[in-house]
A = this chain, B = another copy of it.
Amino acid sequence: MEPLCYLNGKIIPLTDARIGILDLGVLRGFGVYDGLTSFSGDPFRFDDHWERFQTSANSLGLVIPHTKEEVRSAMRAIIAHNAPGKRANLRMVLTGGTAEKGIEHVLGRETLFITAEAAVPLPAALYERGGSLIRHEHQRFMPEIKTTNYLTAVMLQKKRADAVANEILYTSGNRVLECATSNVCIVKNGVIATPDADILKGITRKVILELASGAYPIQERVILIGELLAADEVFITGSFKDILPIVSVEGKTIGSGVPGPVTRDLTKRFETYARQAS
């Protein structure tokens, strides 16, 4: 069965979904991105993703050429076709469309597309025993905005795979920032702490902080690398991986080397919430 996607207002076969080579998205890397998940046919926390996507678009002077309801309906339709009854991952991209004079964006030419595919989750055993990070000194350009600029992330995938690591932790000086495609949290003495600046604030991060609120003290603040390495627990959050416990960073063991009680509790809370929200 041929997968479908959404391109500029139409649902079409993915193999037919192509954009012109003069599109600013490819010629000049000028676009914004969002990744969403769906537990049972509906995009999870769609309102939050839409708001963030709009903010990203506005920052670049891009206008989304379709309404929120059109986009949500398109997502439901392509999920129903591509991954019926399954968990699905969605990617949404808005670019400047065909370049004027090779570099100028003309309002109204924007390209919008959405893909959906059955999720291929990380192995269950990885969630049980915990994953690992490699570290890279890097702060994303316009970090609060989710642009399509993932140069560093793409370049480091081989290094990550060679290290048999699950994510790349970006640090700046002695500060912990975020991972290439997820956020990071630490737990120390029962307190959850996570960076608050120079990062892309993920939707899963937001949900976890909501679910933790009241049950645990939460600190959104600068996190030093030393704190992360000395934490009782570390976990990362993202739409395509939920909560992944981290037990090793650059070869150094975190806490007792197994997923800790706070991470496990938050995972249960998230699973319950996701089931109810679906």
Q: Which A residues form the contact surface with B (CB < 8 A)?
A: 5, 7, 14-15, 17-31, 33, 35, 60-61, 89, 91, 93, 95-96, 101-105, 113, 115, 120, 141-142, 147-151, 153-155, 157-158, 161, 181
Contacts and interface: CB of A to CB of B under 8 A. Distances in A.
Contact of A93 (B26, B91, B161): B26
B60 A29 contact: no
Main SS of the interface on chain A? mixed
Given A27-B91, A61-B158, A91-B102, A141 B151 contact: yes
Contacts of A142: 151
Contacts of A28: 148-151, 153-154
State how many copies of this chain the complex holds: 2
A177 to B, nearest CB: 15
A34 to B, nearest CB: 12
Given A61-B155, A96-B154, A148 B29 contact: yes
A21 B93 contact: yes
B20 A149 contact: no
21 contacts: A18-B18, A18-B20, A21-B93, A22-B115, A24-B154, A25-B25, A25-B29, A27-B33, A28-B148, A29-B147, A29-B148, A29-B149, A30-B154, A35-B102, A60-B151, A60-B155, A103-B153, A103-B154, A103-B157, A105-B154, A141-B141
